[in-house]
Amino acid sequence: MALHQLTSFTLGVPNLAETAAYYREFGLADEGDGWLATRDGGRQLRLVSAPARRLIELRIGVDDADDLERASSRLRRLGVDAAADPAGRTLTAHDPTTRVQAVLQVTPRLKQPVTGPTPYNGPGRPERIGTRAPGVVRTGPVVPRKLGHVVIGTTDFDATTSFFRDGLGLKASDYIKDAGAFLRCSTDHHNVLVLRAPVVFPHHSSWQVDDIDEIGRGAHALLAEHPERHVWGLGRHHAGSNFFYYFKDPSGTFSEYYSDLDCIPEDQVWTPETFEGARGLFNWGPPPPPSFLRPDDLADLMAGSHSR
């Protein structure tokens, strides 16, 4: 029937233990063998050792073998080889530019438990009366509900976008003019964002939390003893509309808490827009630091990619 979920990704990092400790603090559960899990989505991040930080694999859930067959013929038209496993459960292909391995896998759809809306008081609309706000009385650690999206910088923007969109079959939700493609393989506004960059690198991963208070509480906890982890936030994106806060993990890859992302059901007609300038980046919030688009280690990554 369709692609339906960004299931997991594998990130190679040079400092495995330190990076794993960071993601545990970020709220993911350590399941051993490099795997980290969310509350609703299960194992969604695998950390492995690598000479430099690198996105190694993305796994995408599909409904049935017909989805694999269709993706295989689309990829063939692009001149990209794809390998099906004999049981007809997976299809594996590599983006020629970024060398990211994409695995489409027949997987049951994720059914997230319904979480009731957080009551917020508004003008003429008192939703909580005689109580303190839920966001100020919560005491537990912030636990991401699921993986939302992964962002990859590529030196061939058109080819990588085409691999994911025209080959694998992700749908375009919006574009940043000449620089970014927001692509979805679920009802989320985006699950993969392809970014034009001077070197191939993993820009960030993003993780769903319950509401804006959880973003704030998560940021508060992560930054309390490590203010250097702060990258950008709090703000609201324009493309996807979500609230965001970005942090830097010990490998230099950014991780984001988000809530209230645009939802696009399969039967919904959605017309992608192309945003220019600041709109491509955000709607409101503090200005993004220059290191958001050009991370501090980009020159090192470029030097490393030439020597490898």
Residue 255 found at the interface with Fe ion (CB under 5 A): no
Query: Looking at 66-74, 180-188, 204-212, 266-274, which segment touches Fe ion (CB under 5 A)?
Result: 204-212
Tokens linked to 128? 């909580």
- Give yes or no for a contact between 258 and 207, defined as CB atoms under 8 angstroms apart: yes
Each residue 214-253 as x (binds Fe ion by CB under 5 A) or -, in order, gives ----------------------------------------
Q: Candidates 206, 251, 255, 259: give the one binding Fe ion (CB under 5 A).
A: 206
Footprint on residues 128-167 left by Fe ion (CB under 5 A): none
Q: What is the pairing mode between strands 101-106 and 90-94?
A: antiparallel
Q: Nearer to Fe ion by C-beta: 13 or 261?
A: 261
Q: Nearer to Fe ion by C-beta: 8 or 206?
A: 206
Number of residues in contact with Fe ion, rule: CB under 5 A? 2
CB of 295 to Fe ion, least distance (A): 14
Q: Candidates 95, 174, 210, 256: give the one binding Fe ion (CB under 5 A).
A: 256
Spatial distance between the Cα atoms of 44 and 40, rounded to a whole number of angstroms: 10
CB-closest chain residue to Fe ion: 206
Residue 188 found at the interface with Fe ion (CB under 5 A): no
Contacting positions for Fe ion (CB under 5 A): 206, 256
